[in-house]
Structure 1
Amino acid sequence: MKKHNYEVKVEWTGNEGNGTLDYKSYNRNHTIIANGKYSEINGSSDPSFLGDKTRYNPEDLFLSSISSCHMLWYLHLCSVHKIIVTEYLDHATGIMQETENGSGKFTGVTLHPKVKITSLNMITKANQLHEEANKMCFIANSCNFKIEHKPHTSVA
């Protein structure tokens, strides 16, 4: 079995002079950098946790990881099954539930891919391939909750 290793550097940039003296004395801004990548990602926490709403938070990135991994597998499977996809747009949604102690976890994610293909005869198969893509997706296979799909497929 092949193993793949990944590395990122996460650097906190939110020290406002007093470090983490108390919960409100620092901001949550940080930078995510991976060697050889074109740009860095500016992150923070969700505004509910005193983060900067203009920056990506871990929950955004988690949801986008699920969505993009699914899309990449889906496009691969369509190409294998001779389904020509001309457009793909997903409006993924997720629910994170906070617990009494302040922690939390995602309890569900729904992908809403809008896909355009070239053949009317392939719409049923194109919709079915979302389930197969979910079975293949590395990120989905790492989650402990169900990922639902509500695709809308049309002809370009």
Structure 2
Amino acid sequence: MSDGEHLYTATIRWARAGGDFLGAAYDRGHTWTFDGGITVPASSSPLVVPLPWSRADAVDPEEAFVAAIASCHMLVFLSIAAKKRYLIETYEDVARGVMTPNEHGRLWVSRVVLDPSIAWAGQRRPDPATIAAMHHLTHRECFIANSVRTEIVVAGVDDTPPH
């Protein structure tokens, strides 16, 4: 790897466990193992592949995509707040991804709406305009937001964030 490059790895494992594979009646359950050693149960979304061939109790790629965007946004926002000396007590985001057909009729996650609820602490508290500016800066600095073409918006702050 060259300077400035960072490598991230995930190992995806699936094994056929009965069912009619050739008839598309097989279990989509699998695992994701990350470089830190944690293993997460994963599956296709029951909204895409019906039960029992999907697992409702596992993470699906679409919700992981939404979580990655929301998590990156939160981590950058926390960093910006700390640098600006604003104390955050809690940050909770109920992020929502919307999947729609593209111009070729193929489904894609076209929009992710972040809806963070932030509890501020301490003497210094940002006003709404400052919070909005912090979200815009966060969007510009987020590695994941810079990696996708999905529209990412922060509820109550903007409908078309700058890129």
Structure whose residues are more often helix by fraction: 1
Match of 1:130 in 2: 135
Q: Over aligned residue pairs, what C-alpha RMSD do you find? A: 2.2
Unaligned runs of 5+ in 1: none
Secondary structure at the residue paired with 2:68? helix
* Deviation beyond 6 Å, 4+ runs, structure 1: 99-102
Question: What's the counterpart of residue 93 of structure 1?
Answer: 96
Match status 1:74 vs 2:77: yes
1:32–1:79: structure 2 CA closer, same or farther, 3 Å change rule? Answer: same
Counterpart of 2:112 in 1: which secondary structure?
Answer: strand
TM-score, scaled to structure 1: 0.85
**1:23 counterpart letter in structure 2:** A
Unaligned runs of 5+ in 2: 158-163
1:124-155 deviation digits (Å, cap 9, x = unpaired): 32332011101000101111132100259xxx
Task: Quote the sequence identity (%).
Answer: 28
Query: Taking structure 2 as the reference length, what is the TM-score of the superposition?
Result: 0.82
TM superposition shift of 1:79: 0.5
Are 1:110 and 1:148, in contact at CA under 8 Å, matched by a contact in 2? yes
